[in-house]
Amino acid sequence: MESIIYNHPTVTKFDEIYQNLISEIMKKGIAEISERTKHETRALPGRHFSLDLEKDGFPLLTLRKIPIKVFVAEQIWFILGSRKPEEFLRKYTKIWDDFTNPGDVVTVAYGYRWRKHFGRDQLKLLIHLLETEPSSRQGVVVSWDPGSDGLSPHFKKKNVPCPYTFTVNIIGGRLHFHNIVRSNDCILGMPHDVAGFALLAYILASHFEVKPGIYSHSISNAHIYDTHYFAAEEMMRRKNAHPKIELKLPQNTLGRIEKKDRSVADELISMLDKQYQPMEPMAGLKIVL
């Protein structure tokens, strides 16, 4: 995969990375019509970037306002292994309501896939593995089910995983997290995914009593929808000087989440909100399903 090198002194590291990726897609991306959505996208293959969470701070986009409660609550819902938005998530957001079946179940919920779907609690096993063998290189969690996801032009599910696997390594007393994404809507989806999975990296690092390390994000298909071109052009023009965000997790965050302590979400949201100084929200952005 092609790595992109960025250098801009007036924005946070993630803003810098994001702005350059958006610019690259808009200027060099291939414009094609998606058979599934009937929308045009501009797309580039094989994009990758990395952030040093300890050095660069928490990667929360400031070029437009991102709803903090959404990715915080969603990531906690994932950790809980639920596939029902009514269980914890809906109090904070209805982001998954478009993907529920008549029983109010998200059949392809990430956390459910991590913890129950394959007959193994992958997250629990990951934690046990790295507690027992911190140098292990086998800390891989998968949400893509090869028995039912994708590979069919005729039968399409309402939703299949976009971030479909991640790997966790502890190297040099720091926890490093590599997130692999088959398809990323870079206006709405990517900033949300980066913040959510970086939060998971912080939570795991805290549990293992190590520092957060490198967060890596690899995208097979990085694209912008035609309905978001106006937002991309605006994002390319914006500049926002912003101090890096320091995330200090509450004590025993993972344990409290697993005990369904709802107050931990409010604490995390408050902690991030107090430091967040974004530019104005971008009106008119709608998800393409």
- Cα 53 from chain centre: 14
Q: Residues with Cβ < 8 Å from 239, sequence gap 6 or more?
A: 10, 11
**Cβ neighbours, 10 Å, residue 97:** 13
pLDDT at position 9, please? 41
pLDDT at position 2, please? 52
The CATH class for the domain spanning 2-67+116-252 reads alpha beta
pLDDT at position 45, please? 98
pLDDT at position 33, please? 96
Residue by residue, DSSP assigns the chain as -EE-----TTS-HHHHHHHHHHHHHHHHPEEEE-TTT--EEEEEEEEEEEEEHHHH------SS---HHHHHHHHHHHHHT---TTTTGGGT--TTGGG--TTS--TT-HHHIIIIITSS-HHHHHHHHHHH-TT-S--EEE---TTTSS--SS---S---SEEEEEEEEETTEEEEEEEES-EETTTHHHHHHHHHHHHHHHHHHHHT-EEEEEEEEEEEEEEEGGGHHHHHHHHH-----PPPP--PPTTHHHHHHTT-THHHHHHHHHHHHH-------TT-----
In the numeric block, which tokens belong to residue 236? Answer: 């390319």
pLDDT at position 289, please? 80
Of the residues 63, 162, 257, 268, which is catalytic? 162
In the numeric block, which tokens belong to residue 27? Answer: 């200027």
Q: Residues with Cβ < 8 Å from 166, sequence gap 6 or more?
A: 140, 141, 177, 178, 179, 180, 197, 200
pLDDT at position 113, please? 98
pLDDT at position 152, please? 85
pLDDT at position 149, please? 94
In terms of DSSP bridges, do strands 174-181 and 40-52 run parallel, antiparallel, or are they unpaired?
unpaired
What does the pLDDT profile of the chain (289 residues) look like in tens digits? 555 444 444 579 999 999 999 999 999 999 999 988 999 999 999 999 999 999 999 999 999 999 999 999 999 999 999 999 999 999 999 999 999 999 999 999 999 999 999 999 999 999 999 999 999 999 999 999 999 999 988 777 778 999 999 999 999 999 999 999 999 999 999 999 999 999 999 999 999 999 999 999 999 999 999 999 999 999 999 999 999 999 999 999 999 999 999 999 999 999 999 999 999 999 889 989 8
Active site residue 186: no
Burial profile 216-242: b = 16 or more Cβ within 10 angstroms, e = fewer:
bbbbebbbbbebbbebbeebeeeebeb
The residue ranges of every structural domain in the chain are: 2-67+116-252
pLDDT at position 5, please? 44
In terms of DSSP bridges, do strands 174-181 and 211-225 run parallel, antiparallel, or are they unpaired?
parallel
